[in-house]
Every structure is written in C-alpha cells, then in structure tokens.
Amino acid sequence: MFREFFENSEWSRWIFLFVGALVSASLLKLLLHLASRRLSVLKKTHTWVLFVWVFSLLARSVAHQITQEKSFQVLIVFTVGFQVMIWGFYLLKLWNAQVLDKKMSENPSASAALVLVYRVAQGLFVSIVVLMGLSNIGVDIGALLAGLGVGGIAVALAAQNILGDLLASLSIVLDKPFMVGDQIVSNEVRGTIESIGIKTTRIRSLTGEQVVVSNKDLLESRVQNYKRLLERRVTKKIGVVYATSPEILSKIPKWIEQVITSKEKVRFERCHLVDYGASSLDFELVFYIEDSDYRVYMDTQQTILLEILKKFSEEKVDFAFPTQSLFVRSVPNASV
C-alpha cells in the first residue's frame, strides 16, 4: 500500500521522509539527552544534524538516486564535519578547563605558553577535520598537503630560532625543570625565576639586575635548582692547637655532636680528627640542614658555629691559627 502511494505521489514520498526524519531525530535527541548524564559531550549534538543524518538514511532506501548527487554528498559531509567540530571544541574546552587551567594556577607565568598550546590544538583539530571533509567529497588533498609541507619547511627554516624557543617554552611548562620563585644556577647566571614567557625566561640575579635568557639556551645548559633541595650538606674543618691534651681531643667530637643534635631540622653525620696540620690538629665536621631555604641554612650554620666557639671557650680549648717558630742556634765565636 505504501509502495503504491509512493509511486503515485512524489510529493507524498518526500513529505513522509521529512516527517519520519523529524520524528526520528527528535527521539534520538531525547535519547542522547538521557545518555548525556554519563557522557556530557552528547549534549552538544544538534537536532538539525540528527535530522539530516536520518533523512539521508531514509532517502537511501526510498530515493537512492538523489543520494548520489554531489550536492547531497556535500551536505552530508558538511553536517558531519560541523558536528565533529562541535564535539571536538567541547572536549578541548574541557581539557583546557581541567588540565591547562590547573597548570596555570600552579605556574601563572606559563599562561602565555599554555594558551598557545590550546590555540595550536584547536588549529590542528580544525585542519584535520577540514582535510578529511575535502577528501570525502572527492578533492585530491595530496597536492595540497605537499604544498603545505613545502611551505611549512620554508617557514620553519626562516623562523627556526623562534620555533626553538617556543618548543623550549612548552618543554619547560610540561616538564617543569623549574618554576617561578625557584632559585637556579645556569652557567654564570644565579638568581630567582621571575617569569617564563614564550621566548625568554627572566631571572632576578642575586646582585639585583634582571637577566633575560632565551628558553632554548636555558634548557641546553646545566640548570641547578636550589629550591628543590631536600637538605643541605655542611662540611667544616676545625683546627685546635697542638698543645691540646689527648683527653680533650677525644671529647671534642662528642661536644660538637651535642651542639648539633640540640637543633631542630639538623642531622648530625660525623666528627673526626682527620689530620695533623702544619699548625693545627684538624677535625672534620659533617652535618645536614633539613631545609632548602638559604636563609635558614645560613642562620642555622651561624648558630652552630657560635655555640661550638662558646663550648671551646668554656673548656679552655684554643683554636689554631697559622704560626711559625724560629729556632736560633748559637754558634761559638770564630777566631780571626
């Protein structure tokens, strides 16, 4: 009955296709809305896209000839590409919000590089969708890709320094060898990181001036990051005079250990008599300060050295200093 109806009335056939596609698209939209509670990207599916998809499927079974038309194929490719872009941009936005924004909050100075990463990802995604769409409608993209490849090589050669710094900036952002506020040493530069840009990193040196270093040069050098120290090892040599008695010498390591173990965030390693010096008996002291802050390190070291000095003063132990003794040998008067 329906077949006779379609054969006798062309308009009725298309009306049936239109209504059927509209009803089916509405039902699919409802189902996607229910499923979007678990997969939020489905919320971004447009009803008119579903309508075109369902209409094309129904048309294939009822009016197959029209689906072979070039304009019909272009319409299908356009709707598919449009919907894929909507889904892709939504997923990229989620990635930006959940990953890149978090990185920006942890490292605000890297925001420029992270925004660039986001824009580049969008551009690459659009390029891939467009090229796939052109390929599906019969356009030979081989020559286009070859032209883009040659042009890309020319641009890369012309801007290789800029691209090198850009890639280094992305490497710094993703690998995090250092961050804003870290104290680093690189070649002859020693200071605190102030900002990390797309091309350069700015460092506030210990002498006060700002040093601007390209990201590429910075990563190619050896970088020492003092902010990430877990603890600082301190080695000191203490020399006492040769007149010090063996009994006192044997007590000195214990005195020094007591001074060090009384301090917080300090771990005693060892203290030994290690050498007979030119003018002193030398002790070697090793301990660790369990704090990366340089001011804490200097303050703790000063306190320990002052207390050792006080203990030696109380025990009447003299520190040695370079001395020379001159022995004069008497010679009998020689007869003339």
Give the tens place of pLDDT for each residue, 165-184: 777 777 777 777 888 888 89
Write phi, then psi, for 326 (nearest 5 degrees): -110, 115
What per-residue confidence (pLDDT) applies to 242? 92
Give the tens place of pLDDT for each residue, 183-203: 899 888 889 988 887 788 889
pLDDT at 249 over 90: yes
Judging by beta carbons within 10 Å of its beta carbon (0-12, 13-18, 19+), is residue 307 exposed, middle or buried? Answer: middle
What per-residue confidence (pLDDT) applies to 124? 84
* Residue 209, token pair as written in the block: 């001036």
Collapse the DSSP code of 322 into the 3-class scheme (helix H, G, I; strand E, B; otherwise coil) and give the result.
coil
What per-residue confidence (pLDDT) applies to 174? 73
What per-residue confidence (pLDDT) applies to 12? 60
What per-residue confidence (pLDDT) applies to 148? 61
Mean pLDDT taken over the chain? 79
What per-residue confidence (pLDDT) applies to 74? 76
Residue with the larger pLDDT of the pair 226 and 235: 235
What per-residue confidence (pLDDT) applies to 93? 85
Which strand (E) or helix (H) includes residue 256? helix 246-261
Closest CA to 45 of 6, 2, 99, 85: 85
Q: Are 229 and 296 in contact (CB under 8 A)?
A: no
Q: Are 205 and 211 in contact (CB under 8 A)?
A: yes
Write phi, then psi, for 183 (nearest 5 degrees): -95, 125
pTM over 0.75, yes/no: no
Give the tens place of pLDDT for each residue, 251-261: 999 999 999 99
**All structural domains of the chain:** 2-150 (no CATH), 176-228 (2.30.30.60), 232-314 (3.30.70.100)
Question: Quick one: average pLDDT of 21-49?
Answer: 74
Residue type, 49: V
pLDDT band at 84 (very low <50, low <70, confident <90, very high): confident
Residue type, 53: W
Give the tens place of pLDDT for each residue, 89-128: 888 888 887 776 676 666 665 666 667 777 778 888 888 8
**CA distance readout (Å), 42 to 88, 124, 128, 177, 320:** 11, 22, 21, 39, 81
HSE-CB at 123 with a 13 A cutoff on CA atoms is 6
What per-residue confidence (pLDDT) applies to 271? 95
* Residue 49, token pair as written in the block: 């896209």
pLDDT band at 244 (very low <50, low <70, confident <90, very high): very high
Handedness of CA 246, 251, 253, 259 (dihedral sign): negative
pLDDT band at 11 (very low <50, low <70, confident <90, very high): low
Residue type, 166: L
Closest CA to 208 of 190, 185, 227: 190
Tokens 């001011």: give the residue. Answer: 295
What per-residue confidence (pLDDT) applies to 127? 83
What per-residue confidence (pLDDT) applies to 138? 73
pLDDT band at 43 (very low <50, low <70, confident <90, very high): confident
The share of the chain scoring above pLDDT 90, in percent, equals 24
Q: How many CB atoms lie within 10 A of CB 104?
A: 18
Question: Quick one: average pLDDT of 283-301?
Answer: 91
Tokens 């006080």: give the residue. Answer: 310
What per-residue confidence (pLDDT) applies to 2? 47
Residues 6+ apart with CB under 8 A from 198: 112, 113, 116, 165, 166, 169
